[in-house]
Amino acid sequence: MSYDDPLEAFTDFFTGPYREQIQELDDGYPDERSLRIDWHTLESWDGSVADEFLRKPSRMRQFATNALTRLDEISVVGVNVRVYNLPDRKTVRVGKYRTRQLGKLLSVRGKVVDMDGVQPYAEEAAFECPLCGTLSRMPQSYGDLMKPNECAGCEHSKPGFRFNREQSELVDLQKIVIIPPDSNLEEPPATIAFLKNDLVDMVGPGDLVTLNGIYETFDGQSESTLSTYIEVLDLDITERTEIDTYGASEIREFIMDALTEEIQATDDWAADRASVVDAVVERHGVRREEVDDQIEYLIGENDVGAEGSRLFDI
Ligand SMILES: [Zn+2]
């Protein structure tokens, strides 16, 4: 059968063939906040819904999210709908995308060569009018913060809006760069990809990954040749590079060095734990969780004192 209403389609899918996965999501919620949809399962249930997901991923994902939130069987909010196991025809080599694929779902396999730290990202930013106090909300895209043109309350244009963090919708965001896994080129084609929510901090330099995501152009472009990125909807780590160049004791030394520097730089008796972790991750390419593990070890051994998120007394 085929559906006119995607909301109805996803409701039937979730209460039919995907009943067990939905139950698992409910059991694991709120620690677990992602529902991974196997595209092939969707396809064997209803081919046209599955094809529509490839063609209009943002829209279909929104319908799937809405259907999930409205299910009588479970009670979840803020779940990330992810899709994986895309058909082979959607698998593209890094850098081989075409204009007609913009806005569509792709599967790209690549090697992680660069990554930023995790940062808060405003999916929707709230602004307060300094003249009348009215809040205006603006959906955001990567790049410059976009402000409303006019206040909805007093109708002044550009009243000098103030960003209001508490009223904005913030998520964790991490930018990574991938290249083809087998390239011998000196400057291989590279693709920027954005990881959000529970996908952050999953990969490290050298890891081989399969990204399923939407091929997009950045907003606010300054040139007619557009810069692009992949908005990642799902991530498979096909091969992890073990960072065996550094042993646990070396990582502990990096931590102690960063801690000492941090304390000297801030001229304080304690350092912010997150800054120490950031410094070690950025300088040595060690995975964040490994640094955290070693900090816990140092605390356990009383090499450093801990209270809350701060480190003291080396
Ligand atoms: Zn106003």
CATH superfamily of 91-117+173-239: Nucleic acid-binding proteins (2.40.50.140)
Tokens representing 157? Answer: 């244009």
Kindly state the percentage of the chain with pLDDT values over 70: 95
Tokens representing 203? Answer: 């990969």
| CA dist., res. 296 & res. 23, Å (int) | 35
Distance 162 CA to ligand 1 centre (A): 11
User: Is there a contact between 176 and 195 (Cβ–Cβ < 8 Å)?
Assistant: yes
Distance 155 CA to ligand 1 centre (A): 6
Distance 154 CA to ligand 1 centre (A): 4
Residue in this structure with the two tokens 């599967």, named with its chain if needed: 107
CATH hierarchy code of domain 248-312: 1.10.10
May I ask the CATH class of domain 120-170?
mainly beta
Residue 270's pLDDT is what? Answer: 76
Phi (first) and psi of residue 118, to 5 degrees: -80, 135
Residue 1's pLDDT is what? Answer: 55
Where do the structural domains in the chain lie, given as residue ranges? 6-85, 91-117+173-239, 120-170, 248-312
| CA dist., res. 224 & res. 197, Å (int) | 31
Select 6-85's CATH number: 3.30.1640.10, 3.30.365.10, 3.40.640.10, 3.40.1160.10: 3.30.1640.10
pLDDT single digits (tens) 216-251: 999 888 889 999 999 999 999 988 776 556 788 889
* CB atoms closer than 10 angstroms to residue 81: 21
Q: Which residues pair with 176 in a beta bridge?
A: 115, 193
| CA dist., res. 67 & res. 61, Å (int) | 10
pLDDT single digits (tens) 134-171: 999 999 999 889 999 999 999 999 889 999 999 999 99
| CA dist., res. 256 & res. 297, Å (int) | 12
Residue 314's pLDDT is what? Answer: 44
Kindly state the percentage of the chain with pLDDT values over 90: 67
Q: Is the pLDDT of residue 214 over 60?
A: yes
| CA dist., res. 68 & res. 65, Å (int) | 5
Distance 121 CA to ligand 1 centre (A): 25
Distance 139 CA to ligand 1 centre (A): 19
Residue 244's pLDDT is what? Answer: 55
Residue 63's pLDDT is what? Answer: 97
- Would you give the end-to-end CA distance of the chain in angstroms? 67
